[in-house]
Amino acid sequence: MNAYRGHTGQVGRHLFPRLRAIATALLLVLPIAASPAQAATESAAARGSTAHVYLLRGVLNIFSLGLDEIAAKLQAQGMRVTITNYVFWSSLADEAAAEYRSGKIKTVILVGHSSGATSLPDMVARLDQLGVPVKLAIGLDSVFHTSLSGRVGRYINFYVANGAGTPVDRARGLQGKLENVNVQSVPGVGHLTIDKSQIMQQKVIAEIDAVVFGRPAPATVRRPPGEASPARSRSAGAAAARN
């Protein structure tokens, strides 16, 4: 009997740390909410929502992994999310249009990083041609100069003016609100980190939550002191930061 107890005691000493590690891991992956009642209400609202968020990664799927984190956080709220590489933006637009025409979705939201952000104006225009209005589009540091046309409720172009990012121009016939927001003053934000920044992820999710849950839209990032407006910067041909 004593030998048996000794054996079980040794097993317990080896097993309990493993069980404790598993329990800790489970706690880490469980969603944390400030208010369980509010979380349950919003999750149910998201599940019953006809909104769908489409996220476009940049080159090679290895530089936009922050979008995967954003997608996971949105899914934790019960939202419908699709994430893919930017090269598939056209087929993704066709897919969104088919769901829109079928009535499965009524609110289209787009998010893109790097080349994914560069593709967003094309996707907005394509959806407009297919008869699908975009409620919200958010670009994270588009790497090429683009112009926006078609129908979009609100287009927010977050970019790093002292890096690779560029503003988005308003094309003739655009129906909607376009905002170019320079985020170079946000700590630790660059072209390869803008999608991974917790501050920027919170801004993106807050903008989406405002559409899906009807919350007030968050305040726009302010231009750094002394920085010229986009028009002044372009007209002066400044090599410094543009906004």
Residues 184-205: tens digit of each pLDDT: 999 999 999 999 999 999 999 9
> How far, in Å, CA of 139 to CA of 60, rounded?
18
C-alpha count within 13 angstroms, C-beta hemisphere, residue 165: 33
Q: Is residue 10 part of a domain?
A: no
Residue 45 has a pLDDT of 54
- Regarding pTM above 0.75, the answer is no
Domain that holds residue 112: 51-236
> How far, in Å, CA of 185 to CA of 215, rounded?
26
User: Under a CB-based contact definition with an 8 Å cutoff, are residues 46 and 79 in contact?
Assistant: yes
Structure tokens at 17: 């740390």
Residue 69 belongs to a domain with what CATH number? Answer: 3.40.50.1820
> How far, in Å, CA of 115 to CA of 99, rounded?
25
Q: Is residue 92 part of a domain?
A: yes
Q: What is the number of other CB atoms lying within 10 angstroms of the CB of residue 24?
A: 9
Residue 164 has a pLDDT of 85
Of 117, 116, 96, the closest CA to residue 107 belongs to 96
In one-letter notation, the amino acid at residue 58 is G
Positions in the chain whose pLDDT score sits under 50: 1-42, 44, 222-243
Q: Is residue 17 part of a domain?
A: no
Q: Is residue 15 part of a domain?
A: no
Q: Is residue 122 part of a domain?
A: yes
Residue 33 has a pLDDT of 36
Number of domains in the chain: 1
| 125 burial via Cβ count (<10 Å: 0-12, 13-18, 19+) | buried
Q: Is residue 178 part of a domain?
A: yes
Q: Is residue 42 part of a domain?
A: no
Q: Is residue 232 part of a domain?
A: yes
**DSSP-derived 3-state class of residue 31:** coil
